Amino acid sequence: MSQFTSGELRVMQLLWEHGELKPGELQELHPVPIKNPALRSYLKILVDKGHVSRRRVGKAFFYKANTPRQRAFSTMLGDLVRIFCAGSVDELVMALVRKEKLSEDDLLELKRLADLGSEAGSRKRGAREKKS
C-alpha cells in the first residue's frame, strides 16, 4: 500500500528535496501551479497515509517527509521489477540500454557500481537464491 499517486509524488519530491516546508513554500516550489486548498488536500492524504508528518510552529504547520526518498524509490522500483522481470535484473538493464537512457559514461559508471556491489555482495553472501 505504499504506492504514491503522481499528485502525491509531486509533493513528496519537494519535501525530500527541501526538508521541512510550510504550505506557502510548498505552493511556490510546486512544479505546476496549485492552489492552497488543493495542496492541503494532498498533504492531508499523505499525513493520513503516514508518509508525511507535521509540526506546529507558530500559527502554521511545517510538513516533513516521513518516508525516506530512497525507500519510496526502492519500493516502487521493486514493484516494477517484480511485475516485469520476475525479480531478475537482466530485462531491467536491457530496457535501459534499449531506451538509450544509458550513455557510454553511464555504462562505465554502471560497471564501477557493479564492482562495488560485487564486493559488498561478497561480504554478505546468501541473501538471495542463486540460479545456477
Partner DNA sequence: ATCAACCTGCAGATAAATCTGCACAATGCG
Partner DNA sequence: CGCATTGTGCAGATTTATCTGCAGGTTGAT
* Binding residues vs DNA (CB under 7 A): 5-8, 22-25, 27, 34-38, 40-42, 45, 54, 58-61
Q: How far is the CB of 2 from a second copy (least distance, A)?
A: 13
13 binding a second copy? (CB under 8 A)? yes
Q: Which stretch binds a second copy (CB under 8 A): 29-37, 47-55, 59-67, 116-124?
A: 116-124
Q: Which stretch binds a second copy (CB under 8 A): 23-31, 41-49, 59-67, 93-101?
A: 93-101
* CA angle, residues 82, 84, 90, in degrees to nearest 5: 90
Contact 55, 61 (CB under 8 A): yes
Give the CA diameter of the chain. 62
Contact 1, 10 (CB under 8 A): no
- E strands in the chain: 20-21, 52-56, 61-65
Q: Name the site residues for a second copy (rule: CB under 8 A).
A: 3, 6, 9, 13, 69-70, 73-74, 76-78, 80-81, 83-84, 87-111, 113-118, 120-122, 125, 127-132
